């Protein structure tokens, strides 16, 4: 019988790995830092509000990742409140 690798890891090893995964998944595609005031576009990509506003002003109204059009002007971007709350609790 083979024991899953997850069981062989200590709790602190699992916690560190989970933290790395969260940091990677919750990082901005523009600045590569933890998301600050995250904004999720209609295409599903998420960026820091400030990073996205700067990108939009410099490069136009399209997603940095997939180039889908952004239909909201930079000043009207809404923060993803659920994601923002999760990120705030992680700090």
Q: What is the pLDDT of residues 23-41, one digit of tens each?
A: 889 999 999 999 999 999 9
Q: What tokens does 81 get?
A: 């409140």
Q: What is the largest CA-CA distance in the chain?
A: 58
pLDDT score recorded for residue 17: 84
Q: What tokens does 23 get?
A: 């940091």
**Phi (first) and psi of residue 73, to 5 degrees:** -65, 155
Per-residue tens of pLDDT for the chain, all 91 residues: 555 555 556 777 778 888 888 888 999 999 999 999 999 999 999 999 999 999 999 999 999 999 999 999 999 999 999 999 999 998 7
CB–CB of 86/36 below 8 Å?
no
Rounded Cα gap, residues 63 and 47, in angstroms: 10
């Amino acid at each position: 019988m083979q024991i899953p690798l997850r069981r062989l890891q200590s709790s602190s090893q699992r916690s560190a790995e989970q933290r790395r995964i969260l940091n990677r998944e919750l990082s901005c595609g523009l600045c590569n830092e933890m998301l600050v005031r995250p904004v999720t576009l209609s295409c599903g990509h998420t960026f820091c509000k400030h990073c996205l506003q700067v990108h939009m002003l410099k490069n136009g109204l399209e997603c940095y990742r997939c180039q889908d059009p952004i239909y909201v002007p930079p000043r009207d971007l809404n923060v993803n409140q659920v994601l923002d709350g999760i990120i705030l609790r992680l700090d």
